[in-house]
């Protein structure tokens, strides 16, 4: 039996349904998260990656939309562990929590409604091709401006922007879109942050470039600095830098560390996964599975030992 956490209880996934009149379904006034848990076969243990960081972001984003839930970060981490145990998950899994207004009401507003949280799991492997790298296209759609629809929050309605860009890229035969912000600087992918390697240094759009404040972005900055001894510059990145970068990769919970081998029909570097990207992937994939002792603090074990 597959369960979801829905309206305060663990229920069979088939019963975790909302009414079509649900307010947030109409206006996109929901906040969601995406987490991964990785199966370590040698230890027979499932590790949730950055559980606290994701639930902390969820509660802060929800708070900004006046959605006060009766749960703490710790409560949500234990609910997620219980859900994974009930679903007997013994493989890599994706976890999707979503906070929404359950009210059957018409007005698009954020006050006077009742927030609810649902959490469910997905069995899914790679989101993008991490082993060969991907081809990307600079989108004709601009990233939504933080002063219109906050790009730094994971707000459901904002994902029309991602959907338009991703669809345009897929229909043109590419794997992913890169969105520029309204000032014309590089923002991010449709569901990933972006890094460039230039003259041996890593460059990534700063927080004020209308991007999501990615949790993987932070982890990767740590790994670049501490493990690979690569400097990281957080700044405005011009579109033209994409065409001369030595390496490019995307980061995200779903995308993990995805190499970009082509941008707008121009090869990135040699058109193959770059050296720094490959080393970063190796460390990242070992860290998230609990294979590097000093990054165990990133992980929450699910099963009691």
Residues recorded for the chain = 305
Give the three-class secondary structure for 168. Answer: helix
In degrees, to the nearest 5, what angle opens at C-alpha 178 toward C-alphas 175 and 184? 160
Of 197 and 215, the one with the shorter C-beta distance to ligand PMP is: 215
Of 116 and 192, the one with the shorter C-beta distance to ligand PMP is: 192
Least Å distance, CB 264 to ligand PMP, is: 20
Q: Determine which one of 21, 109, 137, 154 is catalytic.
A: 154
Give the three-class secondary structure for 222. Answer: helix
66: left (phi over 0), alpha (psi -120 to 50) or beta: left
In degrees, to the nearest 5, what angle opens at C-alpha 52 toward C-alphas 98 and 302? 90
Least Å distance, CB 99 to ligand PMP, is: 15
Of 3 and 36, the one with the shorter C-beta distance to ligand PMP is: 36
Give helix 215-226 / helix 275-287 axis angle, nearest 10°. 110
Of 39 and 207, the one with the shorter C-beta distance to ligand PMP is: 207
Least Å distance, CB 114 to ligand PMP, is: 26
Q: CA-to-CA distance for 182 and 90, rounded, in angstroms?
A: 43
Of 113 and 154, the one with the shorter C-beta distance to ligand PMP is: 154
β-partners of residue 35 are 95
Q: CA-to-CA distance for 58 and 203, rounded, in angstroms?
A: 27
Least Å distance, CB 217 to ligand PMP, is: 6
Contact 248, 233 (CB under 8 A): no
Q: Is 270 a catalytic residue?
A: no
Least Å distance, CB 272 to ligand PMP, is: 24
Least Å distance, CB 188 to ligand PMP, is: 5
Interface residues with ligand PMP (CB under 6 A)? 34, 154, 162, 188, 191-193, 212, 214-217, 251-253
Closest CA to 249 of 237, 241, 257: 257
108: Cα within 13 Å, side-chain hemisphere: 7
Q: Give the helix/strand (H/E) hosting 268.
A: none
Closest CA to 26 of 38, 18, 37, 17: 18
Of 218 and 279, the one with the shorter C-beta distance to ligand PMP is: 218
Catalytic residues: 154
């Amino acid at each position: 039996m597959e369960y979801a956490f829905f309206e305060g209880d663990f229920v069979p996934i088939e019963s975790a349904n909302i009414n079509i009149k649900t307010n947030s379904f109409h206006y996109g006034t929901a906040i969601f998260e995406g987490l991964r848990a990785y199966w370590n076969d040698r230890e027979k243990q499932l590790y949730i990656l950055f559980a606290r960081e994701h639930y902390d972001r969820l509660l802060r984003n929800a708070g900004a939309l006046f959605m006060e839930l009766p749960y703490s970060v710790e409560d949500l981490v234990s609910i997620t562990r219980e859900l994974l145990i009930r679903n007997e998950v013994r493989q890599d899994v994706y976890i999707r929590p979503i906070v929404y207004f359950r009210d059957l009401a018409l007005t698009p507003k954020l006050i006077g409604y009742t927030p609810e949280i649902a959490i469910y799991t997905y069995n899914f492997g790679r989101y993008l091709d991490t082993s060969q790298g991907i081809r990307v296209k600079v989108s004709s759609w601009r990233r939504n401006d933080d002063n219109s629809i906050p790009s730094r929050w994971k707000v459901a309605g904002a994902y029309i922007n991602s959907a338009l860009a991703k669809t345009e890229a897929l229909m043109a035969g590419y794997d992913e879109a890169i969105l520029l912000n309204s000032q014309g600087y590089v923002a991010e992918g449709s569901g990933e942050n972006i890094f460039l390697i230039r003259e041996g240094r890593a460059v990534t759009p700063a927080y004020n470039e209308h991007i999501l404040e990615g949790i993987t972005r932070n982890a990767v900055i740590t790994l670049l600095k501490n493990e690979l001894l690569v400097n990281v510059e957080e700044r405005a990145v011009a579109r033209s830098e994409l065409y001369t970068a030595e390496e490019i990769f995307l980061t995200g919970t779903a995308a993990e560390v995805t190499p970009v081998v082509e941008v707008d029909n121009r090869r990135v570097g040699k058109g193959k996964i770059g050296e720094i990207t490959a080393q970063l992937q190796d460390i990242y994939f070992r860290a998230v599975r609990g294979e590097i002792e000093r990054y165990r603090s990133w992980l929450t074990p699910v099963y009691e030992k």
